[in-house]
Protein backbone atom coordinates (compact mmCIF):
# COMPACT_ATOMS: atom_id res chain seq x y z
CA UNK A 1 0.00 0.00 0.00
CA UNK A 2 2.75 2.39 1.09
CA UNK A 3 4.85 1.60 -1.97
CA UNK A 4 1.98 2.42 -4.27
CA UNK A 5 1.31 5.66 -2.48
CA UNK A 6 4.98 6.69 -2.83
CA UNK A 7 4.94 5.96 -6.54
CA UNK A 8 1.88 8.12 -7.01
CA UNK A 9 3.49 10.98 -5.10
CA UNK A 10 6.59 10.76 -7.23
CA UNK A 11 4.61 10.84 -10.43
CA UNK A 12 2.63 13.78 -9.17
CA UNK A 13 5.82 15.57 -8.22
CA UNK A 14 7.41 15.02 -11.63
CA UNK A 15 4.33 16.13 -13.51
CA UNK A 16 4.17 19.25 -11.32
CA UNK A 17 7.81 19.97 -11.90
CA UNK A 18 7.52 19.52 -15.66
CA UNK A 19 4.49 21.74 -15.72
CA UNK A 20 6.35 24.46 -13.85
CA UNK A 21 9.33 24.20 -16.16
CA UNK A 22 7.14 24.51 -19.21
CA UNK A 23 5.39 27.45 -17.63
CA UNK A 24 8.70 29.12 -16.93
CA UNK A 25 10.01 28.53 -20.43
CA UNK A 26 6.87 29.92 -21.92
CA UNK A 27 6.75 33.06 -19.84
CA UNK A 28 10.50 33.87 -19.62
CA UNK A 29 11.79 32.55 -22.90
CA UNK A 30 14.21 35.00 -24.52
CA UNK A 31 13.97 34.98 -28.24
CA UNK A 32 17.15 34.73 -30.30
CA UNK A 33 16.71 38.32 -31.44
CA UNK A 34 16.43 39.47 -27.86
CA UNK A 35 19.48 37.43 -26.88
CA UNK A 36 21.56 39.17 -29.55
CA UNK A 37 20.24 42.50 -28.37
CA UNK A 38 21.19 41.72 -24.80
CA UNK A 39 24.70 40.60 -25.77
CA UNK A 40 25.16 43.70 -27.89
CA UNK A 41 23.98 45.96 -25.06
CA UNK A 42 26.33 44.20 -22.64
CA UNK A 43 29.23 44.55 -25.03
CA UNK A 44 28.52 48.22 -25.62
CA UNK A 45 28.25 48.83 -21.92
CA UNK A 46 31.60 47.16 -21.26
CA UNK A 47 33.19 49.11 -24.13
CA UNK A 48 31.79 52.39 -22.80
CA UNK A 49 33.07 51.63 -19.32
CA UNK A 50 36.49 50.70 -20.67
CA UNK A 51 36.75 53.86 -22.76
CA UNK A 52 35.71 56.12 -19.90
CA UNK A 53 38.07 54.55 -17.37
CA UNK A 54 40.99 54.64 -19.84
CA UNK A 55 40.22 58.28 -20.59
CA UNK A 56 40.12 59.09 -16.89
CA UNK A 57 43.50 57.43 -16.31
CA UNK A 58 45.08 59.27 -19.25
CA UNK A 59 43.65 62.60 -18.13
CA UNK A 60 44.91 62.04 -14.59
CA UNK A 61 48.57 61.85 -15.72
CA UNK A 62 49.19 65.60 -16.15
CA UNK A 63 47.45 66.77 -12.94
CA UNK A 64 49.07 64.01 -10.85
CA UNK A 65 52.55 64.85 -12.20
CA UNK A 66 51.95 68.58 -11.67
CA UNK A 67 50.75 68.06 -8.13
CA UNK A 68 53.67 65.74 -7.36
CA UNK A 69 56.11 68.35 -8.69
CA UNK A 70 54.57 71.06 -6.50
CA UNK A 71 54.69 68.75 -3.49
CA UNK A 72 58.33 67.91 -4.26
CA UNK A 73 59.38 71.58 -4.38
CA UNK A 74 57.18 72.59 -1.42
CA UNK A 75 58.20 69.73 0.84
CA UNK A 76 60.86 70.91 3.28
CA UNK A 77 60.94 74.33 1.57
CA UNK A 78 63.07 72.99 -1.31
CA UNK A 79 62.00 75.69 -3.80
CA UNK A 80 62.65 78.50 -1.32
CA UNK A 81 66.04 77.02 -0.46
CA UNK A 82 67.05 76.85 -4.15
CA UNK A 83 65.86 80.43 -4.71
CA UNK A 84 67.89 81.55 -1.70
CA UNK A 85 71.04 79.82 -3.02
CA UNK A 86 70.63 81.42 -6.46
CA UNK A 87 70.02 84.95 -5.17
CA UNK A 88 72.71 84.91 -2.48
CA UNK A 89 75.28 83.55 -4.94
CA UNK A 90 74.70 86.61 -7.13
CA UNK A 91 75.33 89.04 -4.26
CA UNK A 92 78.72 87.57 -3.36
CA UNK A 93 80.07 86.60 -6.78
CA UNK A 94 78.96 89.41 -9.10
CA UNK A 95 80.52 92.84 -8.52
CA UNK A 96 77.99 95.65 -7.88
CA UNK A 97 75.04 93.43 -8.77
CA UNK A 98 71.86 93.28 -6.76
CA UNK A 99 68.41 91.90 -7.28
CA UNK A 100 64.91 92.22 -5.95
CA UNK A 101 64.07 88.99 -4.16
CA UNK A 102 60.43 89.92 -4.23
CA UNK A 103 60.46 89.93 -8.03
CA UNK A 104 61.91 86.44 -8.45
CA UNK A 105 59.45 84.46 -10.58
CA UNK A 106 59.28 80.69 -10.46
CA UNK A 107 57.63 78.40 -12.96
CA UNK A 108 57.21 74.79 -11.92
CA UNK A 109 56.87 72.12 -14.62
CA UNK A 110 57.13 68.35 -14.35
CA UNK A 111 59.82 68.10 -11.68
CA UNK A 112 61.54 71.18 -13.07
CA UNK A 113 61.61 74.73 -11.76
CA UNK A 114 62.58 77.75 -13.86
CA UNK A 115 63.60 80.88 -11.99
CA UNK A 116 63.69 84.22 -13.74
CA UNK A 117 64.72 87.51 -12.21
CA UNK A 118 66.19 90.89 -13.13
CA UNK A 119 69.55 92.00 -11.80
CA UNK A 120 70.47 95.62 -11.18
CA UNK A 121 73.58 97.76 -11.01
CA UNK A 122 73.82 101.00 -9.08
CA UNK A 123 75.41 103.58 -11.37
CA UNK A 124 75.56 107.02 -9.85
CA UNK A 125 72.54 107.17 -7.59
CA UNK A 126 70.12 105.10 -9.58
CA UNK A 127 69.66 101.38 -10.06
CA UNK A 128 69.73 100.31 -13.69
CA UNK A 129 68.54 96.95 -14.93
CA UNK A 130 71.72 95.09 -15.81
CA UNK A 131 70.11 92.00 -17.25
CA UNK A 132 67.69 89.15 -16.91
CA UNK A 133 68.81 85.84 -15.46
CA UNK A 134 67.10 82.54 -15.91
CA UNK A 135 68.12 79.53 -13.82
CA UNK A 136 66.45 76.22 -14.66
CA UNK A 137 66.46 73.41 -12.13
CA UNK A 138 65.81 69.76 -12.97
CA UNK A 139 64.73 68.36 -9.59
CA UNK A 140 67.27 70.22 -7.40
CA UNK A 141 70.11 70.34 -9.94
CA UNK A 142 70.56 73.67 -11.73
CA UNK A 143 71.53 74.04 -15.37
CA UNK A 144 73.98 76.81 -16.21
CA UNK A 145 72.05 80.09 -15.98
CA UNK A 146 71.06 81.97 -19.10
CA UNK A 147 72.09 85.60 -18.81
CA UNK A 148 70.67 88.27 -21.03
CA UNK A 149 72.77 91.31 -20.24
CA UNK A 150 71.71 94.88 -20.99
CA UNK A 151 75.08 96.43 -20.30
CA UNK A 152 77.58 98.13 -22.55
CA UNK A 153 80.52 96.34 -20.97
CA UNK A 154 79.27 93.13 -19.42
CA UNK A 155 81.76 90.86 -17.68
CA UNK A 156 82.40 87.53 -19.48
CA UNK A 157 80.03 84.66 -18.76
CA UNK A 158 82.80 82.52 -17.31
CA UNK A 159 84.83 84.29 -14.68
CA UNK A 160 88.35 83.84 -13.36
CA UNK A 161 90.92 86.08 -11.72
CA UNK A 162 91.80 87.71 -15.07
CA UNK A 163 88.32 88.60 -16.25
CA UNK A 164 86.64 90.46 -13.41
CA UNK A 165 88.77 93.62 -13.57
CA UNK A 166 89.79 93.35 -9.92
CA UNK A 167 93.43 92.30 -9.35
CA UNK A 168 95.25 91.41 -6.15
CA UNK A 169 98.36 93.61 -5.50
CA UNK A 170 100.60 90.55 -4.87
CA UNK A 171 99.08 88.36 -7.54
CA UNK A 172 100.24 87.45 -11.03
CA UNK A 173 97.06 88.70 -12.66
CA UNK A 174 96.61 92.07 -14.26
CA UNK A 175 100.32 92.54 -15.03
CA UNK A 176 99.55 93.56 -18.60
CA UNK A 177 96.37 95.48 -17.81
CA UNK A 178 96.41 99.26 -18.11
CA UNK A 179 94.13 101.70 -16.34
CA UNK A 180 91.28 103.40 -18.20
CA UNK A 181 92.03 106.98 -17.04
CA UNK A 182 91.95 108.09 -20.66
CA UNK A 183 88.35 106.96 -21.02
CA UNK A 184 87.37 108.98 -17.96
CA UNK A 185 89.20 112.03 -19.37
CA UNK A 186 87.14 111.86 -22.54
CA UNK A 187 83.79 111.46 -20.81
CA UNK A 188 81.69 114.63 -20.38
CA UNK A 189 81.29 116.03 -16.87
CA UNK A 190 77.55 115.50 -16.92
CA UNK A 191 77.82 111.76 -16.58
CA UNK A 192 78.11 109.27 -13.78
CA UNK A 193 80.19 106.12 -13.93
CA UNK A 194 81.04 102.83 -12.33
CA UNK A 195 84.74 101.96 -12.02
CA UNK A 196 86.63 98.86 -10.86
CA UNK A 197 89.53 99.78 -8.58
CA UNK A 198 92.39 97.38 -7.81
CA UNK A 199 94.34 98.55 -4.79
CA UNK A 200 98.07 98.67 -4.08
CA UNK A 201 97.62 97.06 -0.72
CA UNK A 202 95.12 95.10 1.35
CA UNK A 203 93.00 97.12 3.73
CA UNK A 204 89.86 97.11 5.85
CA UNK A 205 86.73 98.07 3.90
CA UNK A 206 85.89 100.97 6.26
CA UNK A 207 89.38 102.35 5.81
CA UNK A 208 88.99 102.23 2.02
CA UNK A 209 85.69 104.05 2.20
CA UNK A 210 87.27 106.75 4.39
CA UNK A 211 90.22 107.18 2.03
CA UNK A 212 88.05 107.55 -1.09
CA UNK A 213 85.90 110.24 0.50
CA UNK A 214 82.22 111.15 0.40
CA UNK A 215 81.99 112.23 -3.21
CA UNK A 216 82.02 108.68 -4.52
CA UNK A 217 80.23 105.59 -3.24
CA UNK A 218 81.96 102.24 -2.71
CA UNK A 219 79.38 99.69 -3.88
CA UNK A 220 81.11 96.31 -3.68
CA UNK A 221 84.43 95.16 -2.26
CA UNK A 222 86.49 92.16 -3.38
CA UNK A 223 87.74 90.21 -0.37
CA UNK A 224 91.16 88.55 -0.08
CA UNK A 225 90.57 84.84 0.51
CA UNK A 226 94.08 83.46 0.00
CA UNK A 227 93.51 82.40 -3.63
CA UNK A 228 93.74 85.75 -5.39
CA UNK A 229 97.49 86.26 -5.09
CA UNK A 230 98.50 82.80 -6.32
CA UNK A 231 98.92 81.61 -9.89
CA UNK A 232 96.62 78.85 -11.09
CA UNK A 233 99.44 76.30 -10.89
CA UNK A 234 99.71 76.77 -7.12
CA UNK A 235 96.04 76.37 -6.35
CA UNK A 236 93.80 73.49 -7.30
CA UNK A 237 90.83 75.59 -8.33
CA UNK A 238 90.10 78.26 -10.90
CA UNK A 239 88.34 80.82 -8.77
CA UNK A 240 86.98 84.31 -9.39
CA UNK A 241 86.71 87.27 -6.99
CA UNK A 242 84.15 87.09 -4.23
CA UNK A 243 83.02 89.99 -2.13
CA UNK A 244 79.99 91.78 -0.79
CA UNK A 245 78.04 95.05 -1.12
CA UNK A 246 79.43 97.63 1.28
CA UNK A 247 76.33 99.80 1.48
CA UNK A 248 73.26 98.83 3.47
CA UNK A 249 70.37 97.97 1.16
CA UNK A 250 67.28 99.26 2.91
CA UNK A 251 64.82 97.15 0.90
CA UNK A 252 63.17 94.68 3.23
CA UNK A 253 64.09 91.56 1.33
CA UNK A 254 67.78 92.15 0.81
CA UNK A 255 70.03 90.06 3.09
CA UNK A 256 72.20 93.18 3.43
CA UNK A 257 69.43 95.27 5.01
CA UNK A 258 71.64 96.11 8.00
CA UNK A 259 68.93 95.56 10.59
CA UNK A 260 70.32 92.73 12.67
CA UNK A 261 73.81 92.15 11.30
CA UNK A 262 76.48 94.23 9.64
CA UNK A 263 77.18 93.54 5.96
CA UNK A 264 80.43 91.78 6.92
CA UNK A 265 78.58 89.33 9.15
CA UNK A 266 75.93 88.74 6.49
CA UNK A 267 78.71 88.08 3.94
CA UNK A 268 80.28 85.40 6.13
CA UNK A 269 76.88 83.88 6.87
CA UNK A 270 76.12 83.71 3.15
CA UNK A 271 79.45 81.98 2.46
CA UNK A 272 78.71 79.41 5.16
CA UNK A 273 75.17 78.95 3.84
CA UNK A 274 76.43 78.45 0.27
CA UNK A 275 79.17 76.08 1.41
CA UNK A 276 76.47 73.56 2.34
CA UNK A 277 75.30 73.46 -1.28
CA UNK A 278 78.50 74.45 -3.00
CA UNK A 279 77.87 72.50 -6.20
CA UNK A 280 74.55 74.28 -6.76
CA UNK A 281 76.09 77.69 -5.98
CA UNK A 282 79.00 76.98 -8.35
CA UNK A 283 76.61 76.27 -11.20
CA UNK A 284 74.77 79.54 -10.60
CA UNK A 285 77.95 81.60 -10.22
CA UNK A 286 80.16 82.57 -13.14
CA UNK A 287 83.26 81.06 -11.51
CA UNK A 288 84.37 77.51 -12.26
CA UNK A 289 84.78 76.79 -8.58
CA UNK A 290 84.07 78.61 -5.35
CA UNK A 291 86.32 76.65 -2.94
CA UNK A 292 84.23 78.01 -0.09
CA UNK A 293 85.58 75.73 2.65
CA UNK A 294 89.17 77.00 2.27
CA UNK A 295 88.07 80.60 1.73
CA UNK A 296 85.87 80.69 4.83
CA UNK A 297 88.65 79.37 7.07
CA UNK A 298 91.10 81.90 5.54
CA UNK A 299 88.71 84.80 6.20
CA UNK A 300 87.98 83.60 9.72
CA UNK A 301 91.72 83.44 10.40
CA UNK A 302 92.78 86.71 8.72
CA UNK A 303 89.65 88.84 8.93
CA UNK A 304 88.06 90.68 6.04
CA UNK A 305 90.71 92.49 3.98
CA UNK A 306 89.85 93.94 0.60
CA UNK A 307 92.06 94.25 -2.47
CA UNK A 308 89.60 95.81 -4.90
CA UNK A 309 86.32 97.66 -5.06
CA UNK A 310 83.59 98.78 -7.42
CA UNK A 311 82.99 102.49 -6.98
CA UNK A 312 80.40 104.78 -8.49
CA UNK A 313 80.12 108.55 -8.64
CA UNK A 314 80.15 111.61 -10.91
CA UNK A 315 82.78 111.35 -13.63
CA UNK A 316 84.73 114.48 -12.43
CA UNK A 317 85.02 112.92 -8.96
CA UNK A 318 86.11 109.59 -10.41
CA UNK A 319 88.83 111.37 -12.39
CA UNK A 320 90.22 112.74 -9.14
CA UNK A 321 90.91 109.19 -7.93
CA UNK A 322 93.89 109.18 -10.31
CA UNK A 323 95.88 111.10 -7.72
CA UNK A 324 95.33 108.45 -5.07
CA UNK A 325 98.42 106.38 -4.29
CA UNK A 326 96.12 103.63 -3.20
CA UNK A 327 94.91 102.74 -6.65
CA UNK A 328 96.89 100.32 -8.74
CA UNK A 329 94.57 99.72 -11.69
CA UNK A 330 91.31 101.42 -12.61
CA UNK A 331 88.93 99.91 -15.19
CA UNK A 332 85.76 101.65 -16.33
CA UNK A 333 82.49 99.73 -16.17
CA UNK A 334 79.21 101.41 -17.05
CA UNK A 335 78.53 105.09 -17.71
CA UNK A 336 75.13 106.81 -17.48
CA UNK A 337 73.71 110.31 -17.78
CA UNK A 338 73.91 112.56 -14.73
CA UNK A 339 71.75 111.39 -11.80
CA UNK A 340 73.87 112.50 -8.84
CA UNK A 341 71.81 114.59 -6.43
CA UNK B 1 5.49 26.11 -4.08
CA UNK B 2 6.06 29.16 -6.16
CA UNK B 3 8.85 29.86 -8.57
CA UNK B 4 8.51 33.58 -8.82
CA UNK B 5 10.75 35.88 -10.90
CA UNK B 6 10.58 39.25 -9.33
CA UNK B 7 12.70 41.53 -11.56
CA UNK B 8 10.12 42.18 -14.23
CA UNK B 9 10.01 45.97 -14.07
CA UNK B 10 13.43 46.86 -12.72
CA UNK B 11 14.85 47.97 -16.05
CA UNK B 12 12.66 51.02 -16.17
CA UNK B 13 13.14 52.03 -12.52
CA UNK B 14 16.89 51.89 -12.89
CA UNK B 15 17.30 54.42 -15.65
CA UNK B 16 17.38 57.68 -13.69
CA UNK B 17 19.84 56.59 -10.95
CA UNK B 18 22.09 54.95 -13.55
CA UNK B 19 22.06 58.23 -15.42
CA UNK B 20 23.16 60.20 -12.34
CA UNK B 21 26.20 57.96 -11.78
CA UNK B 22 27.05 58.08 -15.46
CA UNK B 23 26.57 61.85 -15.58
CA UNK B 24 28.80 62.24 -12.52
CA UNK B 25 31.59 60.38 -14.33
CA UNK B 26 31.07 62.41 -17.53
CA UNK B 27 31.06 65.75 -15.68
CA UNK B 28 34.22 64.73 -13.78
CA UNK B 29 35.90 63.76 -17.07
CA UNK B 30 34.99 67.10 -18.66
CA UNK B 31 36.39 68.92 -15.62
CA UNK B 32 39.56 66.81 -15.77
CA UNK B 33 39.97 67.55 -19.48
CA UNK B 34 39.64 71.26 -18.65
CA UNK B 35 42.29 70.97 -15.94
CA UNK B 36 44.60 69.25 -18.44
CA UNK B 37 44.03 71.96 -21.01
CA UNK B 38 44.68 74.79 -18.60
CA UNK B 39 47.84 73.09 -17.26
CA UNK B 40 49.24 72.27 -20.68
CA UNK B 41 48.39 75.61 -22.26
CA UNK B 42 49.55 77.52 -19.18
CA UNK B 43 46.43 79.67 -18.75
CA UNK B 44 46.89 82.82 -16.71
CA UNK B 45 43.25 83.00 -15.64
CA UNK B 46 42.02 80.73 -12.88
CA UNK B 47 39.67 78.24 -14.60
CA UNK B 48 37.06 78.25 -11.81
CA UNK B 49 34.53 76.26 -13.81
CA UNK B 50 36.88 73.28 -14.27
CA UNK B 51 38.54 73.48 -10.87
CA UNK B 52 35.56 74.13 -8.60
CA UNK B 53 32.10 74.26 -10.22
CA UNK B 54 32.14 71.08 -12.31
CA UNK B 55 33.84 68.89 -9.65
CA UNK B 56 31.21 69.94 -7.07
CA UNK B 57 28.42 69.05 -9.50
CA UNK B 58 30.17 65.75 -10.31
CA UNK B 59 30.60 64.95 -6.64
CA UNK B 60 26.92 65.40 -5.75
CA UNK B 61 25.71 63.58 -8.85
CA UNK B 62 28.03 60.74 -7.82
CA UNK B 63 26.60 60.66 -4.31
CA UNK B 64 23.10 60.49 -5.78
CA UNK B 65 24.14 57.65 -8.07
CA UNK B 66 25.78 55.85 -5.18
CA UNK B 67 22.74 55.72 -2.92
CA UNK B 68 20.10 54.97 -5.53
CA UNK B 69 21.30 52.07 -7.59
CA UNK B 70 23.71 49.21 -7.50
CA UNK B 71 24.49 49.19 -11.17
CA UNK B 72 25.70 52.76 -11.43
CA UNK B 73 28.07 52.38 -8.48
CA UNK B 74 31.16 51.97 -10.65
CA UNK B 75 30.50 55.19 -12.59
CA UNK B 76 29.43 57.03 -9.46
CA UNK B 77 32.59 56.01 -7.61
CA UNK B 78 34.79 57.14 -10.49
CA UNK B 79 32.85 60.41 -10.68
CA UNK B 80 33.24 61.02 -6.96
CA UNK B 81 36.92 60.01 -7.01
CA UNK B 82 37.88 62.31 -9.88
CA UNK B 83 35.81 65.22 -8.55
CA UNK B 84 37.39 64.90 -5.13
CA UNK B 85 40.85 64.66 -6.70
CA UNK B 86 40.30 67.90 -8.65
CA UNK B 87 39.06 69.69 -5.52
CA UNK B 88 42.05 68.47 -3.46
CA UNK B 89 44.35 69.35 -6.39
CA UNK B 90 42.96 72.92 -6.51
CA UNK B 91 43.18 73.37 -2.75
CA UNK B 92 46.77 72.05 -2.55
CA UNK B 93 48.02 73.98 -5.58
CA UNK B 94 46.66 77.28 -4.24
CA UNK B 95 47.96 76.52 -0.75
CA UNK B 96 51.42 75.48 -1.90
CA UNK B 97 51.85 78.40 -4.30
CA UNK B 98 50.86 80.93 -1.64
CA UNK B 99 52.53 79.52 1.41
CA UNK B 100 55.22 76.99 0.60
CA UNK B 101 56.82 78.04 -2.69
CA UNK B 102 58.38 81.49 -3.05
CA UNK B 103 55.79 83.24 -0.83
CA UNK B 104 55.18 86.93 -1.50
CA UNK B 105 53.32 89.34 0.74
Q: What is the pTM for the complete model shown?
A: 0.84
Residues A276 and A324 both lie in one domain: yes
Task: Identify the closest residue of chain B to A50 by CA–CA distance.
Answer: B75
Residues A86 and A42 both lie in one domain: no
Residue B69 confidence (pLDDT): 65
The answer to whether the CB atoms of B93 and A53 lie below 8 A apart is no
Pairwise pLDDT comparison (A28 vs B34), residue with the higher score: B34
Domain coverage including residue A10: 2-74
- Domain boundary residue, one of A39, A74, A109: A74
Distance CA A215, CA A318 (A): 9
Distance CA B41, CA B62 (A): 29
Q: Per the structure, how many domains does chain A have?
A: 2
Q: Which among A27, A45, A47 has a CA at the least distance from the CA of A37?
A: A45
Residue A92 confidence (pLDDT): 95
Residues A24 and A103 both lie in one domain: no
Task: Identify the closest residue of chain A to B100 by CA–CA distance.
Answer: A74
Q: In A, what residues contact B, Cβ < 8 A?
A: 16, 20, 24, 28, 49, 52-53, 55-56, 59-60, 62-63, 66-67, 70-71, 73-74, 77, 79-80, 83, 102, 104, 106, 108
Task: Identify the closest residue of chain A to B3 by CA–CA distance.
Answer: A20
Nearest CA distance, A142 vs chain B (angstrom): 17
Distance CA A295, CA B6 (A): 89
Residues A322 and A188 both lie in one domain: yes
Lowest-pLDDT range of A32-41, A63-72, B24-33, B56-65: A32-41
Residue A177 confidence (pLDDT): 87
Distance CA A311, CA A196 (A): 6
Tell how far CA A223 is from the center of its chain.
24
Task: Identify the closest residue of chain A to B26 by CA–CA distance.
Answer: A52
pLDDT at B30 over 60: yes
The answer to whether the CB atoms of A66 and B74 lie below 8 A apart is no
Residue B71 confidence (pLDDT): 64
The answer to whether the CB atoms of B36 and A62 lie below 8 A apart is yes
Nearest CA distance, A113 vs chain B (angstrom): 11
**Across B24-41, average pLDDT:** 94
Residues A35 and A83 both lie in one domain: no
The answer to whether the CB atoms of B29 and A59 lie below 8 A apart is yes
Residues A61 and A111 both lie in one domain: no
- Domain boundary residue, one of A74, A103, A128: A74
Distance CA A266, CA A273 (A): 10
What's phi and psi for A91, nearest 5 deg?
Answer: -60, -40
Distance CA B25, CA A56 (A): 9
Of B21, B101, B103, B105, which to mutate for an interface test with A (greatest number of A Cβ within 10 Å)?
Answer: B101
Residues A53 and A182 both lie in one domain: no
Residues A192 and A215 both lie in one domain: yes
Residues A17 and A47 both lie in one domain: yes
B contacts of A101 (beta carbons < 8 Å):
none
- Domain boundary residue, one of A27, A57, A74: A74
Nearest CA distance, A193 vs chain B (angstrom): 34
How many interchain CB pairs under 8 A, A with B?
Answer: 70
pLDDT at B16 over 70: no
Residue A4 confidence (pLDDT): 80
Angle CA B32–B38–B42, to nearest 5: 150
**A61 Cβ neighbours under 8 A, 6+ residues apart:** none
The answer to whether the CB atoms of A60 and B100 lie below 8 A apart is no
Residues A157 and A242 both lie in one domain: yes
Asked if A307 contacts A168 with a C-beta cutoff of 8 angstroms, the reply is yes
Q: In percent, how much of chain B has pLDDT > 70?
A: 79
Residues A237 and A121 both lie in one domain: yes
Banded model confidence at residue B7, pLDDT cuts 50, 70, 90: very low
A contacts of B104 (beta carbons < 8 Å):
102
Residue A276 confidence (pLDDT): 96
Asked if A194 contacts A152 with a C-beta cutoff of 8 angstroms, the reply is no
Mean pLDDT by 10 residues, chain A (341 residues): 81 91 78 87 91 96 95 93 95 93 91 95 94 95 94 88 89 86 94 95 94 93 92 85 92 85 94 96 93 94 95 95 92 94 84
Residues A167 and A238 both lie in one domain: yes
Amino acid sequence: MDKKQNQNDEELYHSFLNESMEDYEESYKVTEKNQKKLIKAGRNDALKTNIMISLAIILLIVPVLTLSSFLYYAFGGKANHLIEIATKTIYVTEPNMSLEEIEVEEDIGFFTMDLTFDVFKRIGQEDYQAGEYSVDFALDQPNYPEREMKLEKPLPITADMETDLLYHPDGPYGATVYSDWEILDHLPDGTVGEVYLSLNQLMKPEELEKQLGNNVEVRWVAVDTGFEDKPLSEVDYSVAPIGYPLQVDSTTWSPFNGREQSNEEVFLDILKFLAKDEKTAERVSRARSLALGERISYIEKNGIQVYGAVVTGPTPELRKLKEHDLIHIMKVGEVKLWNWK
Amino acid sequence: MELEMSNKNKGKQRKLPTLSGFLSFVVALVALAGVNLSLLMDFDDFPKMFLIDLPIVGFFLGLLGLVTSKRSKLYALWGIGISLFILVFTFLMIGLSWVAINPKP
